[in-house]
Chains A and B, each alone.
Chain A
Amino acid sequence: MEGYFKHFSFIIVALLGTSLLLLFAACGSPTTPGEGNSANFTATPTRATPLTLEIRCQDSGAGGFYVLGGGAHGRVCVQTAPGAVLTITVRFCNGAPDPSSELKRTAYADSKGYYEWNWTPQPDCKGRPIWKGDVVVKAQLHGHTTSLSASFFAD
């Protein structure tokens, strides 16, 4: 395995070295106003732009619907357009929607289009532990509406 690591490290070092050269070259002169791809920083959607929505937490590389601490903490995160109006419905165990007040308020995505709900679940699991969860998030902005669902299974 040591040989594997050495070989792997050599490749990574070579790639990073190349990246360094490119980066230093790119950093050589400041970008003047009006240059570059500043348009990429304007995320406000227009009527021609479909409203994007992703259920993903900023600190996660894989998902955006958590039930942690044995069911003590629910967390749903979304990435959408800045200012989008957000509503959420969470159901556990095929039961009724979670009535928690945190989930009933109308929410708004922040200036980066991000929002997350954190709450203490009130699951309708017929007196047993949470074994399944489903969430539906709806986003609205400038007349556009989109919704997205996610789920988990407590294997």
Chain B
Amino acid sequence: MLIISLIRRRMCIATAFTLLALTLSLVFAPSSRVLALAAGEQLTQISSDPFTNDTSQHKTEVEPDTFAFGNTIVSAFQVGRFFNGGASDIGFATSTDGGEAWSRGFLPGLTIFTGGTYDRTSDPSVAFDARHNVWMVSSLGIHALNGSVISVDVVVSRSTDGGLTWGPPVVVDNAGTTSGAFLDKNWTVCDDTASSPFYGHCYTEFDNFSSINLVQMSTSTDGGRHWLSPKTTPDKACVIGGQPLVQPNGTVIVPIDDCFETAVLSFRSTNGGKSWSKVVLAAQILSSLVSGNLRTGPLPSAEMDRSGKLYVVWQDCRFEPGCSANDIVMITSSDGLHWTLPMPIPIDLIGSGVDHFIPGLAVDRTTADESAHLGLAFYYYPHASCTIATCQLDIGFVSSTNSGNSWSSKEQLAGPMKVTWLADTSQGLMVGDYISTSFVPGDDEATPVFAVAQPPTGASRCGLLPVVCHEAMFTTPEDLLQIGGGTNVLSNGPTYSPSQHPALIRHSTF
């Protein structure tokens, strides 16, 4: 007992000195904290988790989507992340002046925490219907019982005042409520081209976990008030993570992963969503497992330029020696049927050991062809081979003014962060399965929205209350991310050959 007592006393003194060090570090921290958030300029925090239910982690915000139309930018994201699926609500932040000032709030009537009936929500996606002047955020409406998710619907929240206030959710598909289905990964887009034969049609893509990840497409023609029964593709594709886009002629093209996230597929509709084509293979995916138990996957981020050309990016390791890290690779298509070969975006040298993942691509819809403006935000580790204790999570940005033929040098927007500061989930530590970047059309700057974390209060890692996490939504200040493009091109040609290193490529094992 004497030994134990002495040990306890030493631990007590050690704890006291640790606290002293912490106190001193906090006294001198504020200036370095600001510098740590951005290279020389402070980021703009656009929201903070206000919820206090003891079943999810606070203050956490993850997984943003954005959309821009006119001078308005709307972002939406999960707030108060549950460990085993979903969040307390969807938050929004809206700028009506191109990203200079932001209004913020939380979707009403969606979950029990905001007067709604769903226990949780997830997977926000933002769209704008120009014909009906309605902003939309689609999301999952999740029912839970005794802490377990038991069914999932897809819903849409609508705003008729420019994204400043929102109504209660409208059901897109309530197969969860009615038959216990688990729907997932909804994404909504609207046909905003006045000359299109389907101007004012909105489309929500999602998949049905309970039915072999069956792809589902639901259409609304009245500003999201009502949604038609979902249709699927003739081949009943098994999918996840689609991002539908509408060409100026009204053709809807849906780049999407196969359900094992081993290929990017594509399917389309040329009749306003009455029917959908079979899927075609756009590209194989070869992604490397990201270190540090970070929750990531090679989901596509897709955008379109003025001409209707599609750009799709995802994290992929095929160009790296031994598939030891991920690049962000890009493919393009003018019709959704024929796709270019994947090419890496030259963010870092091939073989540098930098791991890039969770990309959010923006394309200026007023630009096209060889002068299309592209902006790309992404997370990265400077060293792919790291551990939960050593991984340094950063956020970077590159741009192109020539349709991706050459790119600017990487700008570090935030970091380094420890992954233990992130919300914990059953699938790993989480900033989001996706992030997003948007252009105010015709503007020369991009607006990315992403999760940034700082050290939690009450513990060394984020968790349930009484631990208070500090993971929130941030963007860059107005005028920071000028789309200057650059001269960086791929200096190393593709090196992947399927026969060279299949054993080092991590595929799903089931």
CB <8 Å contact, A70 and B12: no
Whether a CB of chain A sits under 8 angstroms from the CB of B140 is: yes
CB-CB < 8 A to A122: which residues of B?
A: 510
A121-B510 contact in complex given A16-B22, A62-B463, A63-B84, C-beta closer than 8 Å: yes
Whether a CB of chain B sits under 8 angstroms from the CB of A143 is: no
Q: Using a CB-CB cutoff of 8 Å, which residues 116-135 of chain A contact chain B?
A: 120-123, 125-134
CB-CB < 8 A to A121: which residues of B?
A: 509-510
Measured between C-beta atoms, what is the minimum distance from B183 to chain A in Å? 10
CB <8 Å contact, A31 and B30: no
CB-CB < 8 A to B123: which residues of A?
A: 155
Whether a CB of chain A sits under 8 angstroms from the CB of B284 is: no
| Contact mask for chain B residues 24-54; partner A; CB cutoff 8 A; 1 contact, 0 none | 0011011001100000001001000000000
CB <8 Å contact, B213 and A23: no
Q: With CB as the reference atom, state the residue of chain B lying closest to A70.
A: B508
CB <8 Å contact, B293 and A68: yes
CB <8 Å contact, A61 and B467: yes
A34-B1 contact in complex given A19-B19, A61-B463, C-beta closer than 8 Å: yes
CB-CB < 8 A to B5: which residues of A?
A: 30-33, 35-36
Measured between C-beta atoms, what is the minimum distance from B93 to chain A in Å? 14
Q: Using a CB-CB cutoff of 8 Å, which residues 1-58 of chain A contact chain B?
A: 1-2, 5-6, 9, 12-13, 16-17, 19-20, 23-24, 26-27, 30-36, 38, 41
CB <8 Å contact, B83 and A71: no
Compute how far the CA of A34 lies from the CA of B29 in the bound complex, rounded to whole angstroms. 43
Compute how far the CA of A72 lies from the CA of B1 in the bound complex, rounded to whole angstroms. 45
Compute how far the CA of A41 lies from the CA of B76 in the bound complex, rounded to whole angstroms. 47
Q: With CB as the reference atom, state the residue of chain A lying closest to B122.
A: A155
Q: With CB as the reference atom, state the residue of chain A lying closest to B6.
A: A30
Q: Using a CB-CB cutoff of 8 Å, which residues 410-440 of chain B contact chain A?
A: 423-428
Whether a CB of chain A sits under 8 angstroms from the CB of B376 is: no
CB <8 Å contact, A131 and B182: yes
CB-CB < 8 A to A67: which residues of B?
A: 426-427
Interface centre among B148, B152, B426 (most CB of A within 10 A): B426
Measured between C-beta atoms, what is the minimum distance from B472 to chain A in Å? 10
Measured between C-beta atoms, what is the minimum distance from A128 to chain B in Å? 5
CB <8 Å contact, A26 and B510: no
Interface residue count for B (Cβ, 8 Å)? 68
Interface contact tally, CB-CB below 8 A: 178
Compute how far the CA of A86 lies from the CA of B23 in the bound complex, rounded to whole angstroms. 43
CB <8 Å contact, B30 and A2: yes
Compute how far the CA of A150 lies from the CA of B219 in the bound complex, rounded to whole angstroms. 36
A23-B424 contact in complex given A62-B464, A72-B509, A155-B184, C-beta closer than 8 Å: no
Compute how far the CA of A66 lies from the CA of B122 in the bound complex, rounded to whole angstroms. 19
Compute how far the CA of A60 lies from the CA of B57 in the bound complex, rounded to whole angstroms. 12
Q: With CB as the reference atom, state the residue of chain A lying closest to B121.
A: A155
Q: Using a CB-CB cutoff of 8 Å, which residues 391-426 of chain B contact chain A?
A: 423-426
Measured between C-beta atoms, what is the minimum distance from B187 to chain A in Å? 14
CB <8 Å contact, A128 and B34: no
CB <8 Å contact, A62 and B57: yes
CB <8 Å contact, B27 and A126: no
CB <8 Å contact, A130 and B26: no
Contact of A63 among B83, B182, B289, B388 (CB under 8 A): B83
A61-B462 contact in complex given A13-B27, A66-B428, C-beta closer than 8 Å: yes
CB <8 Å contact, A70 and B297: yes
Measured between C-beta atoms, what is the minimum distance from B390 to chain A in Å? 14
Q: Using a CB-CB cutoff of 8 Å, which residues 96-155 of chain A contact chain B?
A: 120-123, 125-134, 149-155
Whether a CB of chain A sits under 8 angstroms from the CB of B259 is: yes
Listed by A's residue number, 14 A-B pairs whose Cβ atoms lie within 8 Å are A6-B30, A12-B26, A12-B457, A23-B19, A59-B461, A62-B425, A62-B462, A71-B508, A71-B509, A128-B259, A129-B240, A131-B213, A152-B83, A152-B426
Binding site for A on B (CB under 8 A): 1-2, 4-6, 8-9, 12-13, 15-16, 19-20, 22-23, 26-27, 29-30, 33-34, 42, 45, 57, 83-86, 122-123, 140, 142, 147-149, 152, 182, 184, 209, 212-213, 238, 240, 259-261, 289, 293, 297, 388, 423-428, 456-457, 459, 461-464, 467, 506, 508-510
Binding site for B on A (CB under 8 A): 1-2, 5-6, 9, 12-13, 16-17, 19-20, 23-24, 26-27, 30-36, 38, 41, 59-63, 65-72, 120-123, 125-134, 149-155
